[in-house]
Amino acid sequence: MQTKKQAGFTLIELMIVVAIVGILAAVAIPAYQDYIKRSKVSEVAATLAACKTSVAEFAASQNALPTTTDESGCDAGDSTYVSSLSVGAGGVIQATIQSVDSTLDGNTLNLAPYADVGLTTAAVDGDDIKAWKCSTSAASTEYKYLPANCRQAP
């Protein structure tokens, strides 16, 4: 007696594979979208870090904190995800987020110089900058997109 060999997949097997792929896609797509937003905000943080170097150099050489972007030597040119960059009183650097997500656009990432590692004493003219405190104007529901050191309440 001859047995007939199966020549393909049954409908049930195909339906199971499609269901598994659908479940994986339902989990992977939102995770990937979050990853993209975090990577865009990372560029904003990198822009702040570049300016942080200029502010620290100014403070070391002038024995005072810069109060303007021009004085600090930071490049205030806009980038894809930063609509504006400014340095204010006390050497505080502020970058405004753009083109990331409607809930994050318009919020700011801020870096403030501190005279101690414990972030209890803000740096003033003549102080050595020992640490930087990152803060944000974003709502706490958006903290997952921010760098870890910026996730504390503003």
Domain with residue 89: its CATH number is 3.30.700.10
Per-residue pLDDT at 154 exceeds 50? no
On whether residue 65 sits in a domain, the answer given is yes
| pLDDT tens column, 66-117 | 999 888 888 876 689 999 999 998 899 999 999 988 888 898 899 999 988 8
On whether residue 89 sits in a domain, the answer given is yes
CA atoms of 11 and 109, how far apart (whole Å): 53
For residue 147 the two structure tokens come to: 């760098």
On whether residue 5 sits in a domain, the answer given is no
Domain hosting residue 73, numbered range: 11-150
The confidence score (pLDDT) of residue 6 equals 67
CA atoms of 67 and 55, how far apart (whole Å): 10
pTM: 0.78
Q: For 20-41, what is the mean pLDDT?
A: 93
For residue 33 the two structure tokens come to: 């979208």
Q: Comparing C-alpha atoms, which of 68, 41, 42 is closest to residue 55? A: 68
52-54-57 Cα angle (round to 5): 110
On whether residue 3 sits in a domain, the answer given is no
The confidence score (pLDDT) of residue 113 equals 93
Number of domains in the chain: 1
On whether residue 2 sits in a domain, the answer given is no
CA distances from 26 to 18, 30, 54 (A): 12, 7, 44
For residue 95 the two structure tokens come to: 């970058």
On whether residue 98 sits in a domain, the answer given is yes
Cβ atoms of 72 and 89 within 8 Å: the answer is no
